[in-house]
């Protein structure tokens, strides 16, 4: 089980999942840039979120995100869900 | 009425992924059947595998959405368009369509998702599962990739699925609703769970112990059942005038099609539906049975199915029963399910184009119940093939016959 405490932890985990699943390197993507700009569509992002759920070991109760989401938005959503457990 | 012509062909099959390879294997009766083994199965099975992993052709972001069935369909459809000299269908607007046939949909994805749910108790399904298992996914992916913006239809009528797709496309072209169509079928179902389920039907062939590639034996006294295969075959169809106006090469003409149902039993065929389908196709082609130069039979090599089909053929051919050469090529490529009709239409087209009639492989000892037809045991070369008929008979009793002719 992975412990994700900070925004930085989550963003690094997202980048790791995206690299292993889709072979896409997000290392140069700014935390406040829309993720869709890098070529990941909403369905792929949903797949990444399921990967994050697997990493922390539980299902998120609220995965709502602004459109289009940034890495920071996803990280904040994950942290909200982790804190609520 | 304008002729409907075949101007492009793409094939992914156990006997080759190019037309030249398929021709050579058909001429030489070289079987593409091999052994399938899995630690999950208590015995090996004979199958028609396509020994190529197509995933590398797609980006990592695309792959999760592309079940192997979809990958095979995309590859065959792109080959067909390339062969027809078409880069994109976007200029046709609503006057181009995709017509597709399948039995199973994205089976590999569904079995894996089922395993994750029932065995791993995974908390959530991957988001692409549904988009993979829906039966129309391959047709939709082809429409998206090749910018086909007219009708996109997916047919599922078991073993006659792609035949139904071809017949549907022909109707659309004949009535003038479409100028051009991408038409075919696909299935890639060789998963342990699927073989296990099929084995429950007691319909699969026993592995030939002397040579597994000889396991499928249509019409033979020693036949033990069908051999499942995987693959995809696509055609570009258009009116002769349309093909000529754009300077396209014409492989063959679809002279007739007939669709009829047995209305009898979900798993046992009845000759009446097969007879009706063949007669309808011949009527549309305006041909007498004696004018056929070849018949590619459905011939799955099951104990019950082959004699029913033979009786239907004898009824349709009448006095010409011992004159029209007939063979079953599933002995070589296996049963491609959703791609079966299209594969066997391709065999007819290649016979017409290259002047040969493939024999029924492994037919050393004909079953007395299958006598009364002119069975080909060897390939006949140097033949003039003017008209050829292929019959597909699906579980549930949906039958499709197609008549193919020279350009």
Give dist(CA B186, CA B168) in Å, integer. Answer: 16
Q: Please report where in the chains the tokens 């769970």 appear, as a residue.
A: B193
Q: In this structure, is residue A31 part of a structural domain?
A: yes
B159 as an active site residue: the answer is yes
Q: Which residues on B lie below 8 Å from A53 (Cβ)?
A: 123-124
* B270 pLDDT tier (thresholds 50, 70, 90): very high
- The whole domain housing A79 covers 7-83
pLDDT at A2: 72
**pLDDT for B1 beyond 80:** no
Of the candidate ranges A14-18, A41-45, B170-174, the one whose mean pLDDT is the lowest: A41-45
Give dist(CA B184, CA B164) in Å, integer. Answer: 9
CB atoms within 10 A of CB B337: 30
Architecture of the B4-245 domain = 3-Layer(aba) Sandwich (3.40)
User: What percent of chain B stands above pLDDT 70?
Assistant: 100
**pLDDT for B14 beyond 70:** yes
Structure tokens at B111: 């079995």
Our measurement of the distance from residue B289's CA atom to the centroid of its chain's CA atoms, rounded to an integer in Å, reads 23
B15 in Cβ contact with B30 (< 8 Å) = yes
* Minimum CA–CA partner of B126 in chain A: A47
Say whether residue B56 is in contact with chain A using an 8 A CB cutoff.
no
Q: In this structure, is residue A51 part of a structural domain?
A: yes
CA distances from A70 to A56, B52, B136, B236, B254 (A): 20, 39, 33, 43, 54
Find the helix or strand (DSSP H, E) in which B256 lies: strand B252-261
CA distances from A41 to A67, A76, B288 (A): 11, 19, 56
pTM: 0.94
**pLDDT for B357 beyond 80:** yes
Q: Which fold has domain B256-405?
A: Peroxisomal Thiolase; Chain A, domain 1 (3.40.47)
Say whether residue A59 is in contact with chain B using an 8 A CB cutoff.
yes
CATH number of domain containing A47: 1.10.1200.10
- Listed by start position, the domains of chain B span 4-245, 256-405
> Which residue among B59, B123, B127 places its CB closest to the CB of A47?
B127
> Which residue among A22, A24, A50 places its CB closest to the CB of B126?
A50
Say whether residue B117 is in contact with chain A using an 8 A CB cutoff.
no
Edge-first strand order for the sheet with B325-327 is B152-155, B96-101, B180-187, B231-239, B4-12, B252-261, B398-405, B387-394, B294-296, B325-327, B374-375
Q: Which residues on A lie below 8 Å from B64 (Cβ)?
A: 21, 44, 47
Structure tokens at B389: 């008929």
Q: How far is A39 from chain B (nearest CA, A)?
A: 9
CA distances from A37 to A31, A40, A78, B60 (A): 12, 7, 21, 17
CB contact under 8 A, B124 and A43: no
Indicate the average pLDDT of chain A.
Answer: 89
Q: Which residues on B lie below 8 Å from A59 (Cβ)?
A: 123-124
Indicate the number of domains in chain A: 1
User: What percent of chain A stands above pLDDT 70?
Assistant: 96
Could you write out the DSSP letters of every residue in B296-360? E------TTHHHHHHHHHHHHHGGGTTTSEEE-THHHH-B-GGGHHHHHHHHHHHHHHHTEE---
Give dist(CA A5, CA B83) in Å, integer. Answer: 56
Q: In this structure, is residue A1 part of a structural domain?
A: no
Q: In this structure, is residue A71 part of a structural domain?
A: yes
* A3 pLDDT tier (thresholds 50, 70, 90): confident
CA distances from B229 to B48, B49, B338, B392 (A): 4, 6, 10, 15
Tens digits of residue pLDDT in B137-159: 999 999 999 999 999 999 999 99
Decide whether B4-245 matches B256-405 in CATH topology. Answer: yes
Q: In this structure, is residue A2 part of a structural domain?
A: no
* B2 pLDDT tier (thresholds 50, 70, 90): confident
Q: Which of B162, B147, B219 is nearest to B364 (CA)?
A: B219
Which SS3 state, helix, strand or coil, does residue B401 take? strand
């Amino acid at each position: 089980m992975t412990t994700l405490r900070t925004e930085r932890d989550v963003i690094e985990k997202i980048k790791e999942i995206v690299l292993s699943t889709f072979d896409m390197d997000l290392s140069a993507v700014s935390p406040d840039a829309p993720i869709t700009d890098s070529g990941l569509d909403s369905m792929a992002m949903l797949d990444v979120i399921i990967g994050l759920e697997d990493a922390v070991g539980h299902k998120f109760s609220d995965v709502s995100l602004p459109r289009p989401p940034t890495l920071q938005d996803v990280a904040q959503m994950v942290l909200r869900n982790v804190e609520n457990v | 009425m304008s002729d409907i012509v075949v101007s492009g062909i793409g094939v992914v099959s156990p006997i080759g992924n190019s037309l030249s390879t398929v021709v050579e294997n058909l001429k030489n009766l070289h079987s593409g059947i091999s052994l399938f083994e899995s630690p999950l199965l208590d015995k090996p099975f004979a199958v028609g595998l396509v020994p190529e992993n197509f995933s590398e052709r797609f980006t990592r972001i695309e792959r999760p959405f592309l079940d192997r069935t979809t990958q095979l369909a995309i590859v065959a459809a792109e080959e067909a368009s390339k062969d027809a000299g078409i880069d994109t269908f976007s200029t046709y607007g609503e006057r181009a369509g995709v017509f597709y046939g399948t039995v199973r949909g994205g089976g590999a994805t569904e079995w894996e998702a089922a395993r994750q749910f029932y065995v791993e108790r995974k908390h959530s399904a991957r988001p692409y599962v549904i988009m993979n298992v829906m039966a129309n996914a391959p047709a939709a992916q082809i429409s998206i990739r090749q910018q086909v913006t007219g009708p996109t239809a997916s047919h599922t009528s078991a073993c006659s699925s792609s035949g139904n797709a071809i017949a549907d496309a022909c109707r659309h072209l004949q009535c003038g609703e479409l100028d051009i169509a991408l038409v075919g079928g696909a299935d890639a179902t060789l998963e342990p769970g699927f073989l296990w389920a099929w084995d429950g039907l007691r319909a699969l062939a026993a592995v030939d112990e002397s040579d597994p590639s000889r396991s499928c034996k249509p019409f033979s006294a020693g036949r033990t059942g069908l051999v499942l295969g995987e693959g995809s075959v696509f055609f570009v169809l258009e009116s002769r005038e349309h093909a000529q106006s754009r300077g396209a090469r014409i492989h063959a003409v679809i002279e007739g099609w007939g669709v009829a149902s047995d209305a009898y039993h979900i798993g046992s065929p009845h000759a009446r539906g097969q007879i009706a389908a063949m007669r309808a196709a011949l009527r549309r082609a305006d041909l007498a049975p004696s004018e056929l130069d070849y018949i590619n039979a459905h011939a799955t090599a099951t104990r019950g199915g082959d004699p029913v089909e033979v009786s239907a053929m004898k009824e349709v051919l009448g006095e010409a029963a011992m004159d029209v050469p007939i063979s079953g090529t599933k002995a070589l490529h296996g049963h491609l399910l959703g791609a079966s009709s299209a594969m066997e239409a391709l065999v007819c087209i290649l016979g017409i184009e290259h002047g040969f009639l493939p024999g029924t492989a492994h037919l050393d000892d004909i079953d007395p119940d299958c006598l009364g037809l002119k069975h080909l045991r060897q390939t006949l070369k140097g033949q003039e093939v003017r008209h050829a008929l292929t019959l597909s008979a699906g579980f549930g009793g949906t039958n499709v016959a197609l008549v193919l002719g020279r350009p």
